[in-house]
């Protein structure tokens, strides 16, 4: 199992010289079976363009799991060169919710006058389906989908297993919406623990610092300290701090990375383009 971070930023892309080393593209993680091309994508932010580079322009054949429908998780879809071409086969799954079918919900943002084409006009063989909570098989991976709190629409976290390795992905998570919890950042609630327990890697929303959290506690995201606490409570082997605030500069992320060296579990800052180490003996990115 190979896990590559293709977009690690939250809310909006972050261009410019202050955002070069960690990357400015929004959420997208590419997962491949050992020795194979990526076939399972988690979210479709602007980082989706990097998947086309991984495939060297070849058609993508696989599935995309959307955690939710906010712009920073869907903006890459119409610009996905490997998906929008003859020969591609893309199954797109998103949390089922009121308001229409999966395709109709996507088209609310991707159709004229907001965009020149609709989802059904993407080239290749695309399908669009709603997903309910529970376990399923997607592209040969065992997937557990659980609803997690996040403002502005139904949101899922995912647990993905290849049989040898397991990764949990909670990109946008607002546990404080369920109460302050033991440390004031939200409770380690049942759905989060079900997704993260004993995983090799937990990729988790880390948009705010503890100092920022009192002002932004109701903005729909997690404090870095919560992500660390969940990783420890769930027995995760590693934490990757993900979904960086769009104003968080490289130097500021460096400083957060240094602070994570004292965390109770091995932890690193998500960096666009990096592969996530899955075995305990694998070195963490510097």
| pLDDT recorded at residue 278 | 87
Q: Are strands 61-65 and 40-42 parallel, antiparallel or unpaired?
A: parallel
| pLDDT recorded at residue 277 | 83
Q: Is residue 173 part of a domain?
A: yes
Q: Is residue 280 part of a domain?
A: no
Q: Could you write out the DSSP letters of every residue in 47-80?
A: THHHHHHHTTTPPPEEEEE-S---GGGTTTGGG-
Q: Is residue 279 part of a domain?
A: no
Is 0.85 topped by the overall pTM?
yes
**Contact yes or no for 169/160 (Cβ under 8 A):** yes
Q: Show the domain range for 256.
A: 2-269
Q: Which CA distances in Å does 72 have to 8, 116, 208, 256?
A: 10, 19, 17, 23
| pLDDT recorded at residue 282 | 64
| pLDDT recorded at residue 283 | 60
Q: Which CA distances in Å does 143 have to 58, 70, 177?
A: 26, 22, 25
CATH number, domain of 51, equals 3.60.15.10
Segments of the chain scoring below 70 in pLDDT: 280-286
Q: Is residue 51 part of a domain?
A: yes
Q: How far is CA 266 from the centre of its chain?
A: 19
Q: Is residue 278 part of a domain?
A: no
Q: Is residue 275 part of a domain?
A: no
> What is the CB neighbour count within 10 angstroms for residue 186?
25
- Name the domain count of the chain: 1
Q: Is residue 282 part of a domain?
A: no
Q: Is residue 196 part of a domain?
A: yes
Q: What is the pLDDT of residues 196-255, one digit of tens each?
A: 999 999 999 999 999 999 999 999 999 999 999 999 999 999 999 999 999 999 999 999
């Amino acid at each position: 199992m190979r896990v590559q971070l293709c977009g690690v930023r939250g809310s909006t892309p972050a261009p410019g010289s202050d955002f070069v080393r960690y990357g400015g593209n929004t959420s997208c993680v590419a997962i491949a079976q050992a020795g194979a091309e990526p076939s399972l994508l988690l979210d479709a932010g602007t980082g989706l363009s990097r998947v086309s580079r991984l495939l060297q322009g070849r058609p993508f054949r696989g599935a995309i799991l959307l955690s939710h429908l906010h712009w920073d998780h869907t903006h890459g879809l119409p610009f996905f060169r490997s998906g929008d071409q003859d020969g591609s086969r893309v199954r797109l799954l998103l949390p089922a919710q009121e308001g229409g079918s999966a395709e109709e919900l996507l088209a609310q943002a991707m159709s004229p006058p907001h965009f020149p084409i609709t989802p059904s006009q993407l080239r290749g063989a695309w399908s669009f389906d709603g997903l309910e909570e529970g376990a399923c098989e997607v592209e040969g991976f065992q997937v557990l989908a659980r609803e997690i709190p996040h403002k502005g629409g139904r949101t899922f976290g995912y647990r993905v297993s290849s049989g040898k390795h397991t990764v949990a992905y909670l990109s946008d998570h607002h546990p404080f919406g369920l109460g302050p919890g033991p440390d004031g950042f939200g409770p380690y609630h049942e759905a989060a623990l079900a997704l993260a327990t004993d995983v090799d890697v937990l990729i988790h929303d880390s948009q705010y610092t503890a100092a920022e959290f009192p002002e932004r506690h109701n903005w729909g995201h997690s404090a870095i300290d919560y992500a660390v606490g969940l990783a420890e409570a769930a027995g995760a082997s590693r934490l990757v701090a993900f979904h960086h605030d769009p104003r968080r500069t490289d130097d500021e992320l460096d400083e957060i990375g240094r602070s994570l060296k004292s965390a109770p579990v091995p932890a690193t800052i998500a960096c666009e383009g990096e592969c996530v180490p899955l075995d305990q003996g694998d070195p963490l990115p510097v």
